[in-house]
């Protein structure tokens, strides 16, 4: 989604600004732009498409400056176009904005804004108009922001340039902003990854904070424009995250990084020799709860679905799960003996964040399972279980998903441990995931061959039972995200209740089939598909292959798994199939159309 970068320094900082924009590319965007103050005048450049287009424009116009704000836009109000891209420049101010202004139409009326002055279809330009008026009225940029923020419904992070000053003015509500302090510059970004590499310290702005960034000082104010202090943290640049190495795409790199990312995550919380799970210390006592509510969006929600199967089978807890965009608005009863768990790679997903706030209002303890530490979700929750996947750049989540599953697996074992009975078989098996995954990755050609057979089909289905049902959903999500092909995931037993009508000659059905207690039932389901001409592609282990060979058109054999490890291990084949199919089709794997990495709008 949209990204903000701004720098005030002693020297020309265009290079650092462009590099910051590239670092935010992974979030997904469709246009970009920057503005700077030179000789007390604004200069700017905007373009649609890739940041390289903006870079060319900046070079062509020889733009240079030391007070610069920049933006990557992911269209919400108005299509991707130069007019709709940021910054918006008015008489005395330039603005970049992340988030959504819900009451922008009311604001147009209330402030009698002449619609002829609005050159875009965006909610953001309305804010630039109003701020410009407020600047004239207050003659003080901070007071003008304070007044502006009081008028707004919705979420925002703003960065303004104001003529007559040598500062960037920023504020936030519901959308993150981080300030970077350097030796001869200070900066701002919507994501720490967007800050210059030589940043020394960072400050995470809190809700409703306002800040003034100068070359050598940063001042932070609360919503009443009272000066406040915010904690400074050491900045650790995420070296290597921008480099693809020998890989063609970040997604490929991230898929192949999973033996390490899963192992890092597991070893962080479990001691193999002592057969003990060590979650970070907390005063949360799992025995105090009767219910667990797990909330997330998209891929992260699929990890919650898997956790529900595990928790129900392995603990006495009642488990409810929901997608955040629904749960937020549901009038569900939340008992005092509930534990609220949210799962998020980015830690910024707006709907998930709002559910966390709902839990807080109900005063139940909260845990977040997040990949980006210091994200809004991690900072708001009572307790954090980090997934150690490292920065995930590809828009389609891969390694973050398997790390979420790994943390959730340990979370379940930890509850068992507290209850005095950890499942030793499952505990031991999590240390073998690494080898199984390496074996799958070594045989990646198997998935290339399967992907090739899918290139000309109009529809594809994934089916599975039990813990393979969420993985079937995840397989379908991954495939449609990066190949734009129609793909559905179903619980295999559900086919006959409707979807079977879509099965015709040669429609591929990918069956996720570990040889477990569901296997025979699954065989019946594939016969139903076969009888209607469907093409069966089965992913199974040796035992499963023996039993199912005669019903399948293609079989890929992977290592034996169990109820606990199969969701993690079967995630690899579904990711590889989606990835190689996207390569055959030639789509933009790392930045698929219409999608964003960090979904900060509702």
Among all residues, which ones are annotated catalytic? 2, 597
Distance CA 213, CA 593 (A): 35
DSSP 152-216: --EEEEEEEEETT-S-EEEEEEBS--EEEE-SSEEEEESSGGGS-TT--EEEEPPTT-EEEE-SS
Q: Contact region for ligand F6R (CB under 6 A) — 280-288, 346-354, 523-531, 537-545?
A: 346-354
Taking CB under 6 A as the rule, does residue 352 contact ligand F6R?
yes
Asked if 481 touches ligand F6R (CB under 6 A), the answer is yes
- Contacts (Cβ under 8 Å, ≥6 apart) of 453: 508, 537, 554
Stretch of 15-23, 74-82, 174-182, 345-353 contacting ligand F6R, by CB under 6 A: 345-353
Please state the length of the chain: 602
Q: Nearest approach, Cβ of 175 to ligand F6R (angstroms)?
A: 14
* Residue 599 engages ligand F6R in binding (rule: CB under 6 A): yes
In DSSP terms, 536 is beta-bridged to 509
Is 132 a binder of ligand F6R (CB under 6 A)? no
349 forms part of the interface with ligand F6R (CB under 6 A)? yes
Structural contact between residues 541 and 569, judged by C-beta atoms closer than 8 angstroms: no
Interacting stretch for ligand F6R, rule CB under 6 A, among 32-40, 277-285, 344-352, 360-368?
344-352
- What residues numbered 530-559 form the site for ligand F6R, per CB under 6 A? none
526 binds ligand F6R (CB under 6 A): no
Least separation in angstroms between residue 478's CB and ligand F6R is: 6
Q: Nearest distance from residue 226's CB to ligand F6R, in Å?
A: 33
Chain position whose Cβ is nearest to ligand F6R: 298
Residue 444 token pair: 């990646």
**Least distance (Å) between residue 1 CB and ligand F6R:** 10
- CA dist., res. 101 & res. 514, Å (int): 48
**Nearest alpha carbon to residue 485 among 584, 377, 404:** 584
Of 84, 155, 189, 345, the one binding ligand F6R (CB under 6 A) is 345
> Residue 521, Cβ neighbours under 10 Å: how many?
12
Residues 39-78 that bind ligand F6R (CB under 6 A): none
The residues, ordered by sequence, that sit 6+ positions from 421 with a Cβ below 8 Å of its Cβ are none
To ligand F6R, the closest distance from the beta carbon of 300 in angstroms equals 4
Using CB under 6 A, pick the residue from 315, 344, 571, 591 that binds ligand F6R: 344
Count of H-run helices and E-run strands, the chain: 20, 27
Contact letters for ligand F6R, residues 258-297 (x by CB under 6 A): ---------------------------------------x
Show contacts with ligand F6R in window 363-402 (CB under 6 A).
396-397
Nearest to 343 by CA among 283, 409, 432: 409
| 3-class DSSP state of 596 | coil
DSSP type of residue 372: S
Greatest Cα-to-Cα distance within the chain, rounded to the nearest angstrom: 80
Closest separation in Å from C-beta 53 to ligand F6R: 25
Contact set with ligand F6R (CB under 6 A)? 297-300, 344-346, 349, 352, 396-397, 477, 481, 598-599
């Amino acid at each position: 989604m949209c990204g903000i970068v701004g720098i005030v320094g002693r020297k020309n900082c265009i290079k650092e600004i462009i590099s910051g924009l590239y670092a935010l590319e992974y979030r997904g965007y469709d246009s970009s732009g920057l503005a700077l103050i030179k000789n007390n005048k604004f200069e700017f450049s905007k373009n649609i498409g890739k940041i390289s287009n903006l870079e060319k424009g900046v070079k062509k116009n020889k733009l240079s400056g030391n007070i610069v704000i920049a933006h990557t836009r992911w269209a919400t109000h108005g299509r991707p176009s130069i007019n709709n891209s940021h910054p918006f420049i008015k008489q005395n101010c330039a603005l970049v904005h992340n988030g959504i202004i819900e009451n922008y139409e009311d604001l147009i009326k209330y402030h009698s804004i002449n619609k002829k002055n609005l050159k875009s279809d965006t909610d953001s330009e309305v804010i630039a108009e109003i701020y410009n008026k407020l600047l004239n009225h207050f003659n003080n940029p901070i007071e003008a922001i304070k007044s502006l923020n009081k008028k707004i419904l919705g979420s925002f992070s703003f960065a303004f340039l104001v003529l007559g000053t040598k500062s960037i003015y920023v504020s936030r509500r519901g959308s993150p902003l981080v300030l970077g302090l350097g030796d001869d510059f200070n900066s701002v970004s919507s994501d720490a990854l967007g800050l210059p590499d030589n940043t020394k310290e960072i400050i995470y702005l809190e809700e409703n904070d306002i800040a003034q960034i100068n070359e050598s000082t940063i001042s932070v104010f609360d919503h009443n424009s009272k000066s406040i202090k915010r904690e400074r943290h050491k900045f650790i640049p995420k070296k290597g995250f921008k480099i693809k190495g020998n890989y063609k795409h970040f997604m490929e790199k991230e898929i192949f990084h999973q033996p390490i990312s899963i192992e890092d995550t597991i070893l962080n919380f479990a001691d193999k020799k002592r057969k003990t799970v060590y979650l970070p210390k907390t005063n949360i006592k799992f025995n105090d709860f009767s219910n667990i509510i797990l909330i997330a969006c998209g891929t992260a929600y699929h990890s919650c679905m898997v956790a529900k199967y595990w928790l129900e089978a392995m603990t006495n807890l009642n488990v409810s799960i929901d997608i955040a965009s629904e749960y937020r608005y549901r009038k569900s009863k939340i008992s005092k003996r509930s534990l609220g768990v949210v799962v998020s790679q980015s830690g910024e997903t707006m709907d998930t964040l709002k559910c966390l706030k709902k839990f807080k209002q109900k005063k139940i303890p909260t845990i977040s399972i997040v990949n980006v530490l210091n994200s809004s979700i991690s900072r708001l929750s009572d307790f954090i279980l980090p997934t150690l996947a490292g920065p995930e750049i590809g828009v389609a989540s891969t390694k973050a998903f398997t790390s979420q599953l790994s943390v959730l697996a340990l979370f379940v074992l930890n509850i068992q441990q507290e209850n005095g009975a950890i499942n030793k078989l499952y505990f031991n098996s999590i240390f073998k995931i690494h080898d199984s995954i390496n074996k799958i990755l070594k045989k990646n050609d198997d998935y290339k061959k399967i992907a090739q057979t899918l290139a000309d089909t109009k529809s594809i289905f994934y089916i599975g039972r039990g813990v393979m049902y969420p993985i079937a959903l995840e397989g379908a999500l991954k495939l449609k995200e990066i190949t734009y092909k129609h793909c559905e995931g179903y619980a295999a037993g559900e086919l006959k209740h409707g979807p079977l009508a879509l099965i015709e000659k040669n429609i591929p059905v990918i069956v996720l089939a570990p040889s477990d207690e569901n296997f025979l039932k699954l065989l019946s389901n594939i016969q139903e598909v076969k009888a209607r001409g469907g093409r069966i592609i089965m992913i199974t282990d040796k035992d499963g292959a023996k039993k199912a060979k005669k019903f399948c058109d293609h079989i890929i054999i992977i290592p034996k798994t169990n109820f606990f490890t199969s969701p993690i291990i079967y995630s690899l084949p579904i990711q590889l199939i989606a990835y190689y199919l996207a390569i055959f089709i030639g789509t933009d794997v790392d930045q698929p159309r219409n999608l964003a990495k960090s979904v900060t709008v509702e």
